[in-house]
Structure 1
Amino acid sequence: MLSALKRLSLVTRIVIAIILGVLVALLFPNIAPYFSLLGEVFIKALKSVAPILVFALVISSIANFHTSQSAKNFKPIMVMYTVGMLLSAFSAVIADKFFPATLHLQLAPEHAAQAPASIGIILKNLVLSFVSNPVVALGEANFIGVLAWAAVLGVAFRHSSDTTKTFLNDTAAAINRIIQMVIACAPIGIFGLVTVTFAEAGVDTLKSYTHLLGLLLGTMVFVALVVNAVIVGIALKGNPYPLIFKCLKESGITAFFTRSSAANIPVNLELARKCGVDESTTNVVVPLGSTINMCGAAVTITTLTLATVNTLGMHVDLSTMLILCVVASVSACGASGIAGGSLLLVPVACGLFGIPSEVAMQVVAIGMVISVLQDSTETALNSSTDVLFVIAADMGSKR
């Protein structure tokens, strides 16, 4: 039986864990609390490795970032990537205003009362987090501080030797393998979390998960068909939908099932070539886009952060939301290449509001419960948008 389970995909095992967790909670509610340790250990493991993952990935990405002067339309494509992520995050903010989501979290009394009083306090906390000691930031899981120091060190390491850059790449790859080991245990942790949560909250939990998933998927569809349409329409000065549907069909569908933007690079390269894009552009920008163009991740990070804010009863004004959009977009660029990587960046955005890492990691675990559909849709949006903007910029420059 164990051998058969090992042969199943992670998604299948997570689905089985969710079903078993619900059944145990409904049929044996008295023993459900005994499974809480499984969920607690899983969240603790995520909390331990996530700050190091963000630190290593961002340093490596910035230190090894290369551009090519031979890549045509490089700047317009980068502008489209940046604008696309910011508008995606803002779309998630608007969606949350109309359809606010809340989560079932296990909160200590002091956590529920930590609501910033004004934008001034949030900015003050943000600045203080930026200048935090890097060792303290890693130890306390201060993700804003971790991100700031990683960015600064990444820029500094850009002038280092190739050997050093290779070491940074290898370090990031090693941390990635560790997080893959933790995520491989996700079905066990999710089983414990689902069992305890359903035993305590019952059907309300299912409604909460369904609402959150619907909000995420609905926003991503809006980004794909409306936000991207506006950006591409401006670039083409014409009807964007034939190109959008072509990219969704030939790139989005394969990315939905592979759940990896990196694995979908060959598909995007071939699609761009068929559409007449110069290879000097595609060979540089398509792989780069699979790393930094993460509009779906920006939606996920923003939505889950706002759901946490709603649960804690925090008031968020427009200026704070705009800052959140920027933080979510920057965080999305550092999303790990593994399935569900964007979820591990949620604590970065949560740190903007002073939300404790213990709470943020519960949100990450909830995200993994719904990742069966969320992550596949997110990857489809990310990857199809990569090639969409490349082709649109190329076609627009030829008109």
Structure 2
Amino acid sequence: MSSNVFSTMVRRYMNGNIVLQIVIGLICGIVLAVVSPEAARSAGLVGEIFVKALKAIAPLLVFILVMASIANHQKARETHIKPVLVLYMVGTLIAATTAVIFSFLFPTELNLVAAEVSQTAPEGVGEVLNTLIFNMVDNPVNALVTANYIGLLTWAVGLGFGLRHGSDTTKNVLQNMADSVTFVVTIVVRMAPIGIFGLVTSTVATTGFDALLGYSHLLMVLIGAMLFIALVTNPILVFILTRSNPYPLVFKCLKESGITAFFTRSSAANIPVNMSLCQRLKLDEDTYSVSIPLGATINMGGAAITITVLTLAAVNTLDIPVDFATAILLSVIAAVSACGSSGVAGGSLLLIPLACSLFNIPNDIAMQVVAVGFILGVLQDSAETALNSSTDVLFTAAACRRAERK
């Protein structure tokens, strides 16, 4: 193959429709997993490399972009962070309340069996909030290495405000660095079709879906609640803010952010994808450079649903009487706790024992519920991350478009 032909193929790939390419990668991945599971497991390495690259570039992207945006921010120019934060909080609370309603309408029980879960769950809401505060003052180098986004945002905002008093040359260097990191992110994101091909082949070949059949009712409640949030309550919130048809924006966010988040199963890894989408939507950079990484940490509607539904399933299994008011209290705790869940695969599951403690459920039983959550993780955690991550862009876009209407 000549170099000209190769460069032409690369150029066509880079300029092609990424969503169509992802769909083709999905189909090819499923076919390979069915035809040759052994080859599919080997192909999973490509997916791991893709996720690793996303996770590697995301902390640097957040730190540089936020710092450069604040340093170069014009004093007369308004940002739209406040309405985005309100949407994050309201959306998460509505999601948790919806999970309570779905759990009462479609009660679920679990077959609890002893299972080992290596991670340690937090013991109370105070511990969750305490962790958040300490993450804010983490060593900036350590925050960059460990992908502590709360710490990165804190230091980036502080340094950004300090550098606003710097020379124009310094500000230009920062902006050039931000542009360079954004360019690298664009290259990594364009590898999504190949990466998702590897992820889906590995998932289907290794896990399959036989283990999920026994939990089909629970899965339907979980995913049904998440679909209700994505297609009903989120569009209502966007309509209230923008006074325009929300569904074109909703479907664009689900298509271009939700699909990659579904397979990476990490809100943190999907930050570069969301940043790239915000840029294509021509949103205010000063807003999305902060709201997107912040959303990956505190906008956890999907996590609130998971915590609430699985906890109430444990309550039903143990025949613990619970009234609707107590369940709503659980939804508030779930919403607060969800803000402290990590932006990695399965992060919300470790907060289930915290919610279970409200009903005096022993920790060993609560950890069995967590184990059930990991069994469901193939679909539950994927759908949860897709909802969380696509909502980050949706709410940011809604706030920016509301400001444009004024």
Give the counterpart of 2:252 among 246, 271, 277: 246
1:318, distance to aligned residue in structure 2 (A)? 2.5
Distance 1:153 1:219 in 2: 29
- C-alpha distance in structure 1 between counterparts of 2:147 and 2:270, whole Å: 21
Alpha-carbon deviation of 1:336?
2.0
Cα deviation for residue 326 of structure 1 reads 1.2
Superposed CA offset, 1:72-124 (max 9, x none): 111110000000000001111010111000001259xxxxxxxxxxxxxxxxx
SS at match of 2:269: coil
Tell me which residue corresponds to 1:307.
Answer: 313
Work out which of the residue numbers 269, 273, 276 in structure 1 matches 2:282. 276
Deviations 1:258-317 (A, max 9, x none): 111111112211211222211111111111111111111111111000100111111222
CA contact (8 A) 1:300 1:342 kept: yes
Kindly tell me: are residues 170 and 257 of structure 1, through their superposed partners in 2, closer, same or farther at Cα, counting changes over 3 Å?
closer
Question: How far apart, in 1, do the equivalents of 2:373 and 2:127 lie?
Answer: 27
Sequence identity of aligned pairs in percent? 52
- In 2, are the aligned partners of 1:141 and 1:357 still within 8 Å (CA)? no
Letter paired with 2:404: K
State which of 112, 118, 129 in structure 2 corresponds to 1:151. 129
Shift of 1:345: 1.3
Q: Distance in 2 between matches of 1:269 and 1:5?
A: 30
Partner of residue 98, structure 2: 91
Aligned residue number for residue 240 of structure 2: 234
TM-superposed CA distance for 1:359, in Å, is 0.4
Contact conserved, 2:122 with 2:128, CA < 8 A, in 1? no
CA deviation string 1:109-164 (max 9, x = no partner): xxxxxxxxxxxxxxxxxxxxxxxxxxxxxxx97711xx314524754785x6x64x
Could you tell me whether the CA contact under 8 Å between 2:121 and 2:350 is conserved in 1? no
Q: Which one of the candidate residues 86, 89, 108 is aligned to 1:82? A: 89
TM-score after normalising by structure 2: 0.62
Gaps of 5+ in 1: 13-64, 108-139, 174-186, 192-202
Match of 2:157 in 1: none
Instruction: Give the root-mean-square deviation of aligned CA atoms.
Output: 3.5
- The question of whether the paired residues in 1 share the 8 Å contact of 2:132 and 2:340 is answered with no
CA contact (8 A) 2:122 2:351 kept: no
Aligned residues of 2:271 and 2:293 also touching (Cα < 8 A): yes
Number of paired residues?
Answer: 283
Q: Which residue of 1 is the match for residue 107 of structure 2?
A: 100
CA deviations on 1:224-258 (whole Å, 9 max, x unpaired) are 00110111110111211111011111111111111
Contact 1:269 1:283 in 2 (8 A): yes
Asked if the contact 1:255/1:264 (under 8 Å) is kept, the reply is yes
**Deviation >6 Å, runs of 4+:** 3-6, 65-69, 168-173
1:347 aligns with 2:346: no
Q: 1:169 to 1:222 in 2, by over 3 A?
A: same
What's the CA shift for 1:325?
A: 1.0
C-alpha contact (below 8 Å) 2:311/2:355 kept by paired residues:
yes
User: Whole-Å Cα distance in 2 between the matches of residues 172 and 283 of structure 1?
Assistant: 16
Summarize the alignment of residues 27-46 of structure 1 with structure 2, pairs less than 5 Å apart: none
Q: TM-score, normalised by structure 1?
A: 0.63
Report what 2:336 is aligned to: 330
Matches of 2:70 and 2:336, distance apart in 1: 22
**Residue aligned with 2:110, SS:** coil
